[in-house]
Structure 1
């Protein structure tokens, strides 16, 4: 007799379902790890940007402004020594505008969205005149907080 095979057997279907279940059990935990990895990378970028702003202010003897938002960090630099406001965007070492980008990882904290003014003296303030020291934290999803003490210029 000539039988034509149509469809799959029950054994084949169960085998495929078991394999899909095993792959799903291995893949789902990795998705959470990817999110933690991107949070860690963004925290490192924010910390690096703040250190870069601080060192640049001291080395250029000009005010450098940093703003940390949920999605990005942007640096600007004062046009001249003694200016109390920042002007153009601060270029990165490759010449492009310096900006770190995350995917909405900076959750909250006293200093999220607040312009930080890095002075040539090493101090960090929330105003260009240097009268209000910036002290507080920046929270990044699933990561340790970034703390800032403006009177000492300590960023960690």
Structure 2
């Protein structure tokens, strides 16, 4: 009579471990390089700032005039030239990330000004990485309705 043993052989265990290792390397390599995290974080922060400015303009009884100004690595939300009092603004982007903005308005081609209805000039905001984030970029498109999204 043959006695049954329960369990796996050493070869079966090694084969399963190799397959799991190969699958994990393939799956993690498709997630993207780690150096894109700073640019993506900056992109998300700018979209949040645009939403904040739009909502602030719609809440003000003075008729809006909330604008977002960009420098090379900061984002400011302003009302009639004065900073809006908020805990986050002016926002400094992550290290190694720079921003440039261009609106379709020839007069204020680097500012997004929101009116009482939350509308603004359409335009594009580009984030570019340098240093550890070199070679990565993100583009945010802003519609005239105030809707902002990442391309």
Instruction: Please give the TM-score of this superposition, normalised by the length of structure 1.
Output: 0.57
Q: Does 2:58 align with 1:65?
A: no
Distance 1:90 1:115 in 2: 15
- Whether the 8 Å CA contact 1:39–1:140 is kept in 2: the answer is yes
Runs of 4+ displaced beyond 2 Å: 32-35, 103-111, 141-144
Instruction: Please give the TM-score of this superposition, normalised by the length of structure 2.
Output: 0.59
State the partner residue of 1:135.
122
Distance 1:109 1:88 in 2: 20
RMSD: 2.5
Q: Deviations over 1:18-58 (max 9, x none)?
A: xxxxxxxxxxxxxx955321111111111111110001100
Change (3 A) 1:40 1:97: closer
**How many residue pairs align between the two structures?**
104
State the partner residue of 2:113.
117
Q: Which runs of 5+ in 2 are unaligned?
A: 1-31, 104-108, 129-135
Distance 1:110 1:63 in 2: 18
More strand as a share of residues: 2
Matches within 5 A, 1:18-37: 33-37=33-37
Distance 1:65 1:39 in 2: 23
Q: Which runs of 5+ in 1 are unaligned?
A: 1-31, 78-85, 125-133
